[in-house]
Amino acid sequence: MKTMTNTNALQQARALTQPSREASLKRDLSVSQFWKNNRNLIEDAWAEWEIEKKEDLLVPDETLLDPRLRQAINDAWEKPEKENAVADLWEEIIPGVFTAQFFDLERLAEFRKYLEATVHSGIPIRAPYGIQLNRYGMMLDSRSEGHLAAPNFHVFYNEIMDRYMRPIARLLLGTYGYDNQTFGFSIQYNPEKDKDLHAHTDASAATLNININLPDEEFTGSEVDFHDQTTGKVVQTIFEPGKAILHRGNVPHATHPITSGERSNLVVWLYGDRMQIPRGGTNSYGNVNNKEFKDISAENITARKRWSMPDGPKDTIAPF
Ligand SMILES: O=C(O)CCC(=O)C(=O)O
Ligand SMILES: [Fe+2]
Ligand nearest to the CA of 200: 2
- Residues with beta carbon inside 6 Å of ligand 1? 187, 197, 202, 209, 224, 253, 255, 265, 267
Q: How many domains does the chain have?
A: 1
Instruction: Give the pLDDT confidence score for residue 286 in this predicted structure.
Output: 46
Ligand 1, atom 10, residue with closest C-alpha: 202
CATH number for the domain spanning 222: value is 2.60.120.620
Q: Does residue 220 lie within any of the structural domains? A: yes
Domain of residue 106 covers 60-306
Per-residue DSSP letter, 133: B
| CA–centroid distance, residue 201 to ligand 2 (Å) | 6
Closest CA to 213 of 193, 239, 195: 239
Which atom of ligand 1 approaches the CA of 196 most closely? 1
Instruction: Give the pLDDT confidence score for residue 284 in this predicted structure.
Output: 54
Q: Does residue 73 lie within any of the structural domains? A: yes
- pLDDT tens for each residue of the chain, 320 residues long: 554 555 699 999 999 999 998 898 888 999 999 999 999 999 999 999 999 999 999 999 999 999 999 999 999 999 999 999 999 999 999 999 999 999 999 999 999 999 999 999 999 999 998 777 788 899 999 999 999 999 999 999 999 999 999 999 999 999 999 999 999 999 999 999 899 999 999 999 999 999 999 999 999 999 999 999 999 999 999 999 999 999 999 999 999 999 999 999 999 999 999 999 987 555 555 444 444 545 556 668 999 999 999 988 999 989 98
Closest CA to 266 of 238, 240, 244: 244
Q: What H or E segment, with its residue span, contains residue 207?
A: strand 206-211
| CA–centroid distance, residue 91 to ligand 2 (Å) | 19
CA 104 to chain centre: 17
What is the number of alpha carbons within 13 Å of residue 110 lying toward its C-beta? 15
| CA–centroid distance, residue 225 to ligand 1 (Å) | 10
Q: Does residue 148 lie within any of the structural domains? A: yes
Q: Does residue 18 lie within any of the structural domains? A: no
Instruction: Give the pLDDT confidence score for residue 300 in this predicted structure.
Output: 80
| CA–centroid distance, residue 304 to ligand 1 (Å) | 31
Q: Does residue 10 lie within any of the structural domains? A: no
| CA–centroid distance, residue 242 to ligand 1 (Å) | 15
Q: Does residue 250 lie within any of the structural domains? A: yes
Ligand nearest to the CA of 132: 1
Instruction: Give the pLDDT confidence score for residue 131 in this predicted structure.
Output: 72
Q: Does residue 15 lie within any of the structural domains? A: no
Which atom of ligand 1 approaches the CA of 128 most closely? 9
Q: Does residue 5 lie within any of the structural domains? A: no
